[in-house]
Structure 1
Amino acid sequence: MLTIQCTKKLQDTLKVPMTDLTDLNNEPLYSWHAHLFLYKRKKCVLVMNNVSRYNFLLYGLKASDFKQLDQIVMEEMKRNMVAEGIDELTVHKYMKDCQSVTYTKTSERSIISQINEMISVVKYWMELREHEGKEINIDEFNRKLNRFVMLRLPKSYSGETMKDELQHL
């Protein structure tokens, strides 16, 4: 089961019941935090894994997208992991265990602070691209986000840490 821990802002937008986190017995690798933010009137969600801090950005979401956010998150998670160079068989095995999705409230302030840091980085990159007259490339940003140093991780980079964690499946 996949657990998406939503910030208050995302909870208000989703309008779905939140499961009590204490009722869940979920594997930490299958828990993700998600935060909604705006960039120039476009709704974006940054999703970050609780264990590896592997993260990706969902950009330009519409109201209808929030009705199927669980499906969008799983599709983008799979697509980003494969693009990151994680073996497709390993990704398939991980995704097989994510068939059901549960929404809960956030549980770790340190993850929220790292999400906010990544959002600041993304906004900076977007503004830089726009200033240079280039198109915003979310796939490029997602690759770069997971090569951002996070000192508390064993490998320092969330992409490498996620690859290592998935090898233990």
Structure 2
Amino acid sequence: MFTIGVTQKLQKELALDLSSYEEKAQGTAEIWHMNLFKIGRYKGIALAHDKTLYSLVKIGLKKKDFMNIGEIIRNGLEENMKADGFKKEAINSFMQKGGEMEFTKTHDRSTIGCLNEIIYNVEHFYYHSGGDLLNFNSEEMNHFNNRFIFMKLKGYPVELMKEYVNQG
């Protein structure tokens, strides 16, 4: 199960009633945090894994996309992991854990701070691509974000996620 801590801004967009995060009940769940951001007239989400800070950013989402957010996340993570060179078996195994998704209130301020840094990087990429969503290369931007060192970690998120996926 993927347990995703959602910020209040995103909760309103998704129109969800969020449960409180209960650490003891999570057991083997994959814990993530997700935030909503807006650049110009485009809405996007930034998602980060709590342990590795491996991230996914999707921009240009519309109302119908938010209604189907689970599928957007699964497809985006799978594409992102393929682009980062994860083995197919490791991706399939990891994605099976995420069959169900539970959305909760946020519970880790450190991960939220890292998400804000990721969003800052996205804004930088967006404005340097000419401010045009059609010229915006999200694969390149996700590639950069997953090779960005955060104070919370001792390594690159992509390498830590590969280790994490291969040991599970």
1:126 positional shift:
1.1
Match of 2:15 in 1: 15
Q: Which residue of 1 aligns with 2:161?
A: 162
RMSD: 1.7
1:56-95 matches, cutoff 5 A: 56-95=56-95
Tell me which residue corresponds to 1:25.
26
Name the aligned partner's letter for residue 118 of structure 1: I
User: 1:131–1:20: structure 2 CA closer, same or farther, 3 Å change rule?
Assistant: closer
The residue type equivalent to 1:159 in the other structure is V
Question: Counterparts of 1:144 and 1:151 in 2: how far apart (Å)?
Answer: 16
- For normalisation by structure 2, the TM-score amounts to 0.93
Give CA deviations for 1:10-48 in whole Å, capped at 9, x if unaligned: 0011112212211732436x1110000101110000000
Give the Cα separation in 1 of the matches to 2:130 and 2:58.
18
- How much has 1:125 moved relative to structure 2? 1.4
Alignment of 1:99-110 (within 5 A): 99-110=99-110
Q: What is the distance in 1 between the residues matched to 2:66 and 2:92?
A: 24
TM-score for the superposition, normalised by structure 1:
0.92
Identical counterparts, % of pairs: 28
Letter in structure 1 aligned against 2:86 = I
What is the deviation of 1:131? 6.8
Counterpart residue identity of residue 14, structure 1: L
Cα 1:25–1:41 change in 2 (3 A) is same
Counterpart residue identity of residue 160, structure 1: E
The aligned residue for residue 127 of structure 2 is 127
8 Å CA contact 1:74, 1:95 repeated in 2? yes
Q: Answer whether contact 1:55 1:145 (CA < 8 A) is retained.
A: yes
SS at match of 2:135: coil
Give the 4+ runs in structure 1 shifted more than 2 A. Answer: none
AA aligned to 1:31 is: I
* 1:123 shift after superposition: 0.4
Match of 2:55 in 1: 55
Q: What SS does the corresponding residue of 1:20 show, helix, strand or coil?
A: coil
CA distance in 2, matches of 1:26, 1:129: 42
Structure 1 residue 60: Cα displacement: 0.5
Aligned with 1:53: secondary structure?
coil
